[in-house]
Structure 1
């Protein structure tokens, strides 16, 4: 596992690291600008599969953060990338939003409810009993079961909402079939992200705010891990786990260099 001064590429979580409730966290804009100015390869990761990278880029811009859509890697993109490697040109029945359906379309998949190769469950704000019933019957009929991420709940202004993991658990109970989960904490998501930017584990760092997803997956992928305390973790949370991040920082502002960036002479 590399030291921070050996890191040449970065992966970073989004919520709790760069933004909190649609507001940029201290140092986030400066760190992103630093990576851009120094041509440091990076990707912003999220387990949320609702939005396309273009949507997320626009939402981040509204928060004051400039992240081009090609620098965003979602669990939907990771799932589409995984399925393309498993069964190119396959078919899928999808419970999810535009982020997931667009990613699968662009990966060459046919979306259908007739004898699909896969049932893919992602995040949505409109789970329907009819769609869940269809998914159960298709899985019992032989379709392979995939989930974009294991998150049981998601945030909202009014409190927690049931998310992908909760609906996948319902389907598992009805079918006795566990899904293959592509998103964090599966290190598969990090490996696909590194492939996208041509990075290697020996010189890549991962910044996250969750021990049970970001940090454990980063460790399992062989990355230098940085836990920031601007999300859900505190010292008591860290102490719950038998593993430790490479670094614990107050926030991403501690990663911003105070040395002036040298630019090529004109």
Structure 2
């Protein structure tokens, strides 16, 4: 027997917002979650921004999400590293979202024999920094990346993202990174642990079959696909797995929050 939905995980880009515009129904969905006292987290594979940054970005388009209800691949990566090697050291390619998360779990940033090379998202990849990462991995540093997304959206079209730069480093070193973010179900489980939720009574809402739906499925969650982002309706049947339900947009999910 299927348990009632008690907890909600939702992707951000493509579900709640598109670029700098709210998707119709997103504000109402979050408001309904808060009115009913439902536990929820907004998830994103983007490691550039801190939860405070993302909170401000969402509020600017009329979506009121508390800072504590935002879970990023940077936070998931920092949590994973702190459990694997407490108070370790890392050489980081990334922005404030990644470095802040690592500092907050007691990590030290260094380019001198670090425990890990951590590759996150950034809009200004430095050839010098990538070269140093390649050298450190060659010397024995463990290779971690926040997410495998090959491209990210921008107003002018796709931008190379973490997955593309990780492939460059792998080609140079022969070392594959461990990706912490979606579609790794580890990110789902860390999110569930963050709000003390159970997979049997949780739904993951996303716009991508290959990350959101896949990671939710592998973590034992029900999955809702919305058609306002990366995966069009025509592509759903091409995958060897299916979401629990498909909706036109987040607006159609609002009545299910009780």
Q: TM-score range by the shorter chain?
A: over 0.9
C-alpha distance in 1 between matches for 2:183 and 2:256: 33
Gaps of 5+ in 1: 262-266
Aligned residue number for residue 159 of structure 2: 161
1:258 deviation in Å?
Answer: 8.6
Q: TM-score, normalised by structure 1?
A: 0.94
Match of 2:66 in 1: 68
Q: Helix, strand or coil for the counterpart of 2:239?
A: coil
1:38 is displaced (CA, Å) by 1.0
SS of the residue corresponding to residue 168 of structure 1 reads helix
Residue 257 of structure 1 aligns to a residue whose secondary structure is helix
TM-score (norm 2): 0.97
Question: Against the structure 1 CA distance between its residues 130 and 239, is the aligned structure 2 distance closer, same or farther, given a 3 Å change threshold?
Answer: same
1:210 and 2:208 are equivalent in the alignment: yes
SS at match of 1:131: helix
Q: Distance in 2 between the 1:258 and 1:201 partners? A: 17
Aligned to 1:221: 219
Aligned-residue offset at 1:2 = 3.8
Aligned to 1:109: 107
- The answer to whether the 8 A contact 2:10-2:41 is kept is yes
1:54 equivalent in structure 2? 52
Q: CA contact under 8 A between 1:182 and 1:189: conserved in structure 2?
A: yes
Distance 1:220 1:73 in 2: 18
Q: 2:186 aligns with which of 176, 188, 195?
A: 188
Match of 1:39 in 2: 37
> Aligned partners of 2:11 and 2:256: how far apart in 1?
23
Q: Deviations over 1:239-266 (max 9, x none)?
A: 110111000011111121399x8xxxxx
CA contact (8 A) 1:2 1:223 kept: no
SS at match of 2:255: coil
Mean Cα deviation higher: 226-235 or 39-48: 226-235
Q: Distance in 2 between matches of 1:20 and 1:97?
A: 21
The CA distance in 1 between the partners of 2:84 and 2:241, in whole Å, is: 32
Deviation at 1:68, TM superposition (A): 0.9
Deviations 1:58-111 (A, max 9, x none): 000111100111100000000001001100010000000000000000011000
Q: Is the 8 A contact 1:226 1:248 kept in 2?
A: yes
Summarize the alignment of residues 223-262 of structure 1 with structure 2, pairs less than 5 Å apart. 223-257=221-255
Q: Which runs of 4+ in 1 moved over 6 A?
A: none
Structure 1 position 137, deviation (Å): 0.7
Question: C-alpha deviations, 1:204-254, integer Å up to 9, x for none?
Answer: 100000000000111000001000111122222101101110000111111
Q: What is the distance in 1 between the residues matched to 2:229 and 2:165?
A: 25
**1:161 deviation in Å?**
1.2
C-alpha separation between the residues in 2 aligned to 1:198 and 1:85? 18
How big is the alpha-carbon RMSD for the aligned residues of Structure 1 and Structure 2? 1.4
Separation (CA, whole Å) in 1 of partners of 2:149 and 2:2:
29
Gapped regions of structure 2 (runs ≥ 5): none
